[in-house]
Amino acid sequence: MFKKILIANRGEIALRIIRTCKEMGIKTAALCPKPGEEQNFLETTLANEYYFLDREGSQGYLDQRRLIEIAKKAKIDAIHPGYGFLAENWRFAKTCRKNNIIFIGPHFNTLRRLEDKIEAKRFAQKVGIPVLPGSGGSIKTKGDLFKWVMRIRPPFVLKARRGGGGIGIRAINGQISFGEIFSTSLGIKRQMSMAFSDTDFFLEKYLPEAKHIEFQILGDGERFLHLGERECTIQRRFQKLLEEAPSTFLAPKKREELGNLAVKLARELRYQGAGTIEFLMDPDQNFYFMEINPRIQVEHPVTEAITGIDLVEQQIRLAQGERIKFSQADVSFSGWAIEARINAEDPQKNFQPLPGKISKYLPPGGQGIFLHTFLHEGQEIEPYFDSLLAKLISVGKTREEAISKLKRALDEFLIDGVPTTIPFFKVLLQNKDFLEGNFTTDFVERSGILKDLKPQVPKNEAAKVEEKLEEKEIAEIIFHIYQSLKKPEEISSEREFSSNWVMSERLKMYED
């Protein structure tokens, strides 16, 4: 049994790991970028001890040498990378092994294989999982790009060969010149260079009107099983916004088929740990392999909610060398769970992330509502990190009940100081197509749902606007009273005066 674990991450996932460790009787060590910033990193309060990375923003969480130094100083047994940062970095996993530190995740050789999305597709094909047509290798030259554009034809996507999180993906739809496609490819390479220090990309057929379905897997090197699916179809810019389990789309036989193939692929890889196998599906339920995420996923709570299995606990036990203590037949599913990602983003500005300071915070509660967050009043939302503020999870006996609970929780949820995705979810949960399960990965862009949103005004700005509007409205009223006394016949009794609400609705608070 591990005695102490270093959590090489921050925010809600750091707190999530700390909670499971406490329940297992394992001590934890947390991280903080620099002295004086502890109030913005709640994990420093909840962990048994914490250490400074002595680097600005996210840089320290990527500094492998510094992390190993801290691990040795803290005398920890293992490092949990969470998601993002170094969670899928095989070199870091190998470095941990060289320093006699357990990396809580798959073996570094598995990570090295799966880092390469083209190699991962080959593994999928080997076990009989269909893949979308593509270039089959990296596109190195302008001539290579032209050849594959002519062969595959739009619609297709240009994708980073290594990386993830929706970064380094561009869809090419309709009639577009090769010059524009080439320019897009250069833009992707610049983005990839900054995000992954790698510029290899490939071309793959784009599947319109797709559903995004993923299966949670567990493996101990000998036993392999799945914990059902999650539907992740509601997205923006190829990044997930809402996840639910089970899926409204999968027929029972197709669910069984996909689950069996996921387990088969895990067995082929001799997989150890928790992971996710992702698929795209067309309207006829034809499915295609997308990728494998060899780590804990942001959306793991929905699986935990309907199975009762703590995935972080399973990660830790598997990393300790324990075997999975239950079989596929022991896995049962109960109810429906939905997760809404509450991000510090303005949906009306193409979900642009915006930093700020939380001036007021009131979390929702009640039966069937779970909240994973690090927020508190006074929290600084910094531009260095991912925009995720909280994961709001609702659980009900049926999808309708889970949606009803989520609606109520969103109405209770108060976050002032930064724009959030809360208004987006309120509108989404009223949308007929969403309620009926009639949506695909391009739903947000194609449905026009964003037009139903109202501008978000931070409270401190709203107070200033309100004060100005009151003065203006008083002046306007006085002017009209004077005019009515002077020329009553010229003034309509039904004239509409501007209200504070109408005026404020026209404000564009976050224009570029």
Could you report the per-residue pLDDT of 437-495, keeping only the tens digit for each?
999 999 999 999 999 898 886 555 444 434 444 444 444 444 443 444 444 333 333 33
Q: How far apart are CA 304 and CA 298, in angstroms?
A: 12
Compute the distance between CA of residue 78 and CA of residue 29 in angstroms, rounded to an integer.
10
pLDDT in the model for residue 192: 79
Q: How far apart are the first and last CA of the chain?
A: 53
Residue 505 has pLDDT above 60, yes or no: no
Q: Which residue intervals of 416-499 are DSSP H helices?
A: 422-428, 432-435, 443-447, 459-486
Look up tokens 């509660």; give the residue. 365
Residue 25 has pLDDT above 50, yes or no: yes
Token pair of 167, please? 């970064």
- Is the confidence at residue 248, as pLDDT, over 80? yes
Phi/psi for 471 (5° steps) reads: -65, -40
Between residues 7 and 237, the one the model is more confident about: 7
- For the residues 336-361, what does the mean pLDDT come to? 97
pLDDT score at 456: 85
Taking the CA atoms of residue 61, residue 63, residue 69 and residue 75 in that order, the dihedral angle to the nearest 10 degrees is: 30
pTM: 0.87
pLDDT of residue 353: 96
Strand-pair partners of 171: 157
Distance CA 416, CA 406 (A): 19
Which two tokens mark 111?
A: 């990570």
**In angstroms, rounded to a whole number, what is the distance separating the alpha carbons of residues 286 and 275?**
23
The SS3 call for residue 406 is helix
Active site residues: 295
Which spans in 155-210 are helix H? 178-196
Cβ atoms of 299 and 339 within 8 Å: the answer is yes
Q: Which of 284, 278, 170 is nearest to 233 (CA)?
A: 278
Q: Is the pLDDT of residue 175 over 90?
A: no
User: What's the pLDDT score for residue 459?
Assistant: 55
> Which H or E run includes 371?
strand 369-373
pLDDT given for residue 197 in this prediction: 65
C-alpha distances in angstroms, 31 versus 9, 306, 381, 384? Answer: 7, 32, 17, 15
The C-alpha atoms of residue 297 and residue 212 are separated, in whole angstroms, by: 15
Ramachandran assignment for 211, one of left (phi > 0), alpha (psi -120 to 50 degrees), beta (any other): beta
The pLDDT assigned to 208 comes to 87
pLDDT value at residue 193: 78
**Contact 422/453 with Cβ under 8 angstroms?**
no
What local confidence, expressed as pLDDT, does residue 53 receive?
98
What lies within 8 Å, CB to CB, of 486 at 6+ separation is none
Instruction: Say which range, 132-141, 147-156, 163-172, 497-506, has the weakest mean pLDDT.
Output: 497-506
